[in-house]
Structure 1
């Protein structure tokens, strides 16, 4: 009969070496270094919601005032759009709530195929493939391509970094958004490579960088990549759906035919869940055979595919959402500048840089006291001396809510002597 005693008690006194783990000690170390994080449940995925303290294993209690959320990546505010919710519900009724198996077994449904056709059309590609998450997409694609050498922007997303590790590729990191440094490092590699040795090279960059809000100079990067006969993969996670026709920076710059692998997410501006890759027919056929995170995962849930497809349709056809987003971005940026803050970036991501990590976390706390949620970002997520508040407006924020956010920054900044 199995014992009801905790595992720690059942293994006491056996006289064996301790070969286990001490999560409490590791957690205490994170606490000591100021790196501990907690979950903070929200009642609604929307531009405004009550937020609960982390309840651990208990049920969250939403007993505080409604907070205005400037912390989400649901840039177009489509996660709670009735049309998107209706599409998810209809797909659940027609197809099922889950795919039930890998796409290579019985998990490949009409919902997946319809979404992928629309994604390919938006990205001006022959074909697209949907994964269960953006993280799984990057890790799966990079490892399946199995390049000999990758050249990676120093501020690329962690999923790209992990994809390089899983691929076992030699990784050369180039200076952030610096095509000249990329070219120098590719030149150096070319000179060091023995004559007659063929290597496969993959250049990796985000288009919009999630913490700095800046944009990679993709056209110049394309020039460098092409001069060496390499391949280019661009992560459009924070750009998909935000530009004309529902595309990303690749489409805005007219570079669809120069980027070999276009990656993106369904989980941000498209208000759903999952990731995708778009490219040539042969690329997609290779990935669905070789990307382990695709082959050995249950297919994306059909309701998520249905929701993402409807959100993509809205992004393609409804300019009003994008226009409202960019109006909110401009209003916030101008107001934060006027309040005396240093604001980086050139996109919908507005990093308010305060420098010191303690100042950033204190500002985070003070904003919450004003019922505004905008997260403090500190090392190691960002470099030392660049701790910040990451402000992410949504198309569904009202003018009053934008003004409320600005008022909170002004008051909190004065209280903390930051402005």
Structure 2
């Protein structure tokens, strides 16, 4: 037997994994878009060839809530940053990648979030993972539907994680009380409660005031992920600002890639928190600084968001679309701007999404394992830039497909 024949196969087999996902209806496929806008043309993945775009469709699937990704003011800000600073930061912020533009964006975020300071990361994912790791809590109390970046932050930090029932402050109180009974009161433990403010697949909003009440009874810190809320409330803030909780939430985290139409993430809080992250958050210390065009775009988008006109249009569109979908007999989950239309059966949800696409409306089917069995849904995300005709076209498509598929 030759040495080659005796060598065991310890390699990887991506094709088998992909085939298994395909068989279970779980394989994901990219759908390239020519542009990021309320209206965009979609094409199959060109796999290296030039894409061939079909007819234009209305997008009700983007997180570009204020429609600023193709706003000329934001585009000009990104272009100006590229000309004046460069297309890339060139190094970690702690080396030579820190610029006046980054500092200005952080000051604007801190002012909006009503904190002493803010720190910008290369992504929201990096912000969550780096912050939880830097805080190094002894235990994290985490909402059961928290974003994957929070889950991974807990895993990578190696901290003990206690999961509590979704948006249930009473359940949080129960698990924290149990932990308190099991813990030596003289032990120097650090406790962290982490929750999204808006949950992007269910449209639910965390009861942040009640969460703060429970955490404060146990001397714990509260960290809130405002990814799907930043820019959408008073003065461009999030749910934390809407509820008047800026002084009770210790760590405010968010993203620049949704309503702020750019890329990157941020953490806002006290001076000492930000200094700790500058020194201990590995995803900040060992990453190239945020690209200047993204920083310039985010800063301009935040300025526009704070003016309020687009926010008013956005919330008007949310209300109109929710009422319209409910009038058609659909069960629209949650109480936020994310409108999950409950279908139930996985196959029905996929058929509905495919039918909507054929009628010119892009709204994805969300199915297991992303959501529990029997709760497949269509996730509808209105934007401030959708016109009345766009909204009516969306509702007409839902009505036509509901009739064709005998839904709901």
TM-score (norm 1): 0.96
Distance in 2, matches of 1:59 and 1:161, equals 38
Residue 58 of structure 1 deviates from its aligned partner by 2.6
Residue 196 of structure 1 deviates from its aligned partner by 2.0
Corresponding residue for residue 353 of structure 1: 342
Work out whether 1:243 is the aligned partner of 2:233.
Answer: yes
Distance in 2, matches of 1:240 and 1:389, equals 23
Instruction: Note the residue ranges of structure 1 that are not aligned, 5 or more in a row.
Output: 1-11
Corresponding residue for residue 115 of structure 2: 125
Corresponding residue for residue 374 of structure 1: 363
Work out whether 1:65 is the aligned partner of 2:55.
Answer: yes
Corresponding residue for residue 340 of structure 1: 329
1:94-144 per-position Cα deviation (integer Å, ceiling 9, x unaligned): 100000000010000111000000000000000000000001110010111
Distance in 2, matches of 1:54 and 1:364, equals 18
Corresponding residue for residue 144 of structure 1: 134
Corresponding residue for residue 312 of structure 2: 323
Distance in 1, matches of 2:74 and 2:377, equals 33
- What's the C-alpha RMSD, in Å, of the aligned pairs? 1.0
Residue 259 of structure 1 deviates from its aligned partner by 0.4
Distance in 2, matches of 1:364 and 1:13, equals 50
**Which residue of 190, 196, 208 corresponds with 1:200?**
190
Spell out the pairing of 1:12-411 with structure 2 (5 A cutoff). Answer: 14-62=5-53, 64-317=54-307, 319-411=308-400
Distance in 1, matches of 2:339 and 2:369, equals 19
| Structure 1 stretches of at least 4 aligned residues deviating more than 4 Å after TM superposition | 12-15
Residue 16 of structure 1 deviates from its aligned partner by 1.7
Residue 56 of structure 1 deviates from its aligned partner by 2.2
Distance in 1, matches of 2:118 and 2:126, equals 15
Q: Which moved more, 1:195-204 or 1:24-33?
A: 195-204
Distance in 1, matches of 2:5 and 2:20, equals 28
Distance in 2, matches of 1:147 and 1:260, equals 14
Distance in 1, matches of 2:52 and 2:89, equals 33
Distance in 2, matches of 1:105 and 1:194, equals 43
Distance in 1, matches of 2:61 and 2:5, equals 49
| SS in structure 2 of the partner of residue 258 of structure 1 | coil
Distance in 2, matches of 1:347 and 1:43, equals 29
Residue 13 of structure 1 deviates from its aligned partner by 5.8
Distance in 2, matches of 1:111 and 1:85, equals 16
Distance in 1, matches of 2:345 and 2:232, equals 32
Instruction: Note the residue ranges of structure 2 that are not aligned, 5 or more in a row.
Output: none
Q: For this pair of structures, how many residues does the alignment match?
A: 406
Distance in 2, matches of 1:368 and 1:215, equals 29
TM-score (norm 2): 0.98
Residue 193 of structure 1 deviates from its aligned partner by 1.1
Distance in 2, matches of 1:324 and 1:230, equals 38
